[in-house]
């Protein structure tokens, strides 16, 4: 299905890699010739991914916020691509957001992303072959939205991290970029999009007038993973139908 890019001989690690965008990108990278390490907490989901994609996928049942995961990552001999995809969201009014929700979202969306990128960069620096780090952001990393204050805060942090790493790691041949999608049809968004009022609000905010598709995010990730984007670093690739252009 995804055959445009050639990643033959490359090793990619995808956090949150067992479902949705992560699984779709794992499929695309395997089709492009890469070996993929898919990381997620649910072993059943990982097993189903491996059954579907075959031996080119190695599965790690790990918590991306745990030291065991980072130690395992840093034992790799090389790593060419990191798709830093794991994330979470819990939309609710700012005034009612519990402290534990704030802590959990910062832990997954910011802390884990920072530390995973740090461990991946250590491997890339040691191997001396450069690499591409792709951070999963969101259109909410560029704008604000009611009931999404914590999510917006964490995704703005992701954009700042991407810019800073892009500058710091550029001399070593390591590129760091983000992908910032609008609402995409995935298993995680199905319950939200079944709410007709919410879906209409989202459509009204998207000048192109439709919800995004998985393949459109996959194409952005694959572009950043490939040599075709060799002059891009510290950038955010928005796949948002014009939401942030208003």
Catalytic: 163?
no
Angle at 172 between CA 174 and CA 131, to 5 degrees: 25
Distance CA 208, CA 212 (A): 10
Q: In a 3-state reduction of DSSP, which class is residue 243?
A: helix
pLDDT digits (tens, 9 = 90+) for 75-96: 999 999 999 999 999 999 999 9
Which candidate in 155, 196, 199, 238 is catalytic?
155
To the query of whether residue 199 is one of the catalytic residues in this protein, the response is no
Tell me what the mean pLDDT of segment 37-60 comes to.
97
Cβ atoms of 177 and 162 closer than 8 Å: yes
pLDDT > 60? residue 3: no
The whole-angstrom separation of Cα 134 and Cα 21 is: 13
Q: Give tens-digit pLDDT for 184-206.
A: 998 778 888 999 999 999 999 99
Report residue 2's pLDDT band, with 50, 70 and 90 as the boundaries.
very low
Residue of 2, 151, 163, 196 with catalytic role: 151
Residue 224 near residue 164 (C-beta atoms within 8 A): no
Continuous segment of H or E residues that includes residue 96: none
Its pTM stands at 0.96
Token pair of 191 as six digits: 């319950």
């Amino acid at each position: 299905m995804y055959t445009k890019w050639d990643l033959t001989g490359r090793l990619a690690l995808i956090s949150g890699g067992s479902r949705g965008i992560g699984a779709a990108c794992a499929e695309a990278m395997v089709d492009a010739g890469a070996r993929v390490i898919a990381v997620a907490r649910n072993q059943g989901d990982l097993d189903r991914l491996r059954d579907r994609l075959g031996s080119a996928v190695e599965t790690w049942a790990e918590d991306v916020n745990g030291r065991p995961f980072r130690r395992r990552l840093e034992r790799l001999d090389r790593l060419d691509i990191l798709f830093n995809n794991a994330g979470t969201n819990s939309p609710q009014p700012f005034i009612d957001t519990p402290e534990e929700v704030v802590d959990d979202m910062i832990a997954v969306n910011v802390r884990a992303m920072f530390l995973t990128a740090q461990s991946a960069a250590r491997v890339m620096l040691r191997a001396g072959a450069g690499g591409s780090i792709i951070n999963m952001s969101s259109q909410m990393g560029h704008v604000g939205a009611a009931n999404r204050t914590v999510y917006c805060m964490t995704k703005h942090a992701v954009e700042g991290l991407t810019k800073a790493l892009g500058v710091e790691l550029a001399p070593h041949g390591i590129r760091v970029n983000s992908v910032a999608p609008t609402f995409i049809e995935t298993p995680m968004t199905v319950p939200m999009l079944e709410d007709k009022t919410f879906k209409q609000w989202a459509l009204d905010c998207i000048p192109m007038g439709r919800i995004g598709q998985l393949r459109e995010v996959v194409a952005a990730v694959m572009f950043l993973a490939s040599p075709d984007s060799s002059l891009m670093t510290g950038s955010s690739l928005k796949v948002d139908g014009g939401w942030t252009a208003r």
